[in-house]
Amino acid sequence: MIHTLNIYCSNNEEILMKLSELTTAIAGVSVQLTKAQDEILAKIAALELALTDVELPEEANDAINSLRGQVQSLDDIVPDVIPE
């Protein structure tokens, strides 16, 4: 027996997906999110390193802190699993 999962998009379009395909799709998105996270954190680290000996205006510090906040917001979408 083949199991299907109905997923409804915001435009009310129905997509049928086999459960085995869903696992693969989720894994693909997870890999992509991890890649994006690594790239963003690397850019922030490179920026901070480049600005180590530079006196930054307050607006630049605010921009870096805002960027960190955006990264944290993305990270908070899926709560971390706390081992029991």
Is 80 exceeded by the pLDDT of residue 6? no
Q: What is the pLDDT of residue 7?
A: 55
Q: What is the pLDDT of residue 63?
A: 87
Q: Tell me which DSSP letter residue 7 carries.
A: E
pLDDT per residue as tens digits for the range 8-66: 555 555 556 677 778 888 888 888 888 888 888 888 888 888 888 888 889 988 888 89
The answer to whether 19 and 3 have CB atoms below 8 angstroms apart is yes
Q: If DSSP states are collapsed to H, E and C, what string results for 14-41? A: EEEEEHHHHHHHHHHHHHHHHHHHHHHH
Length of the chain: 84
The answer to whether 1 and 18 have CB atoms below 8 angstroms apart is no
